[in-house]
């Protein structure tokens, strides 16, 4: 069975972890060391960023 590829790149996940303040935990313990709440906040922030980017693209097309 092949390993499933993640949707978010490693660098994007690291950027989010830095922004949310738990990147030190990731560096020390890996992604398995973060709290479920932190993981949820990371997903929420990623969705917000994607929605903002999508809205920006739509606005460019409407100009």
Exposure string (b/e) for 30-53, b if CB count within 10 Å is 16 or more? Answer: eeeebeeebeebbeeebeeeeeee
Asked whether residue 5 is assigned to any structural domain, the reply reads no
**3-state SS class at 9:** coil
User: Which pLDDT does position 8 carry in this prediction?
Assistant: 87
Q: Mean pLDDT across the stretch 9-37?
A: 96
User: Which pLDDT does position 39 carry in this prediction?
Assistant: 96
Asked whether residue 15 is assigned to any structural domain, the reply reads yes
Give the chain's domain count. 1
* pLDDT at residue 12 greater than cutoff 50: yes
Q: Mean pLDDT across the stretch 24-28?
A: 97
Asked whether residue 3 is assigned to any structural domain, the reply reads no
Q: Mean pLDDT across the stretch 23-27?
A: 97
DSSP string, 29-43: H-GGGS-HHHHHHHH
Domain membership of residue 51 as a residue range: 10-62
pLDDT band at 17 (very low <50, low <70, confident <90, very high): very high
Distance, in Å, from the CA atom of 40 to the CA atom of 46, rounded to the nearest integer, reads 10
Residues 5, 10, 12, 13, Cα dihedral to 10°? 90
């Amino acid at each position: 069975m092949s390993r499933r590829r993640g949707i978010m790149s490693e660098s994007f996940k690291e950027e989010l972890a830095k922004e949310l303040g738990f990147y030190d935990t990731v560096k020390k313990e890996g992604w398995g060391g973060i709290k479920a709440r932190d993981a949820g906040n990371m997903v929420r922030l990623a969705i917000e960023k994607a929605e903002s980017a999508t809205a920006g693209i739509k606005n460019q097309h409407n100009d």
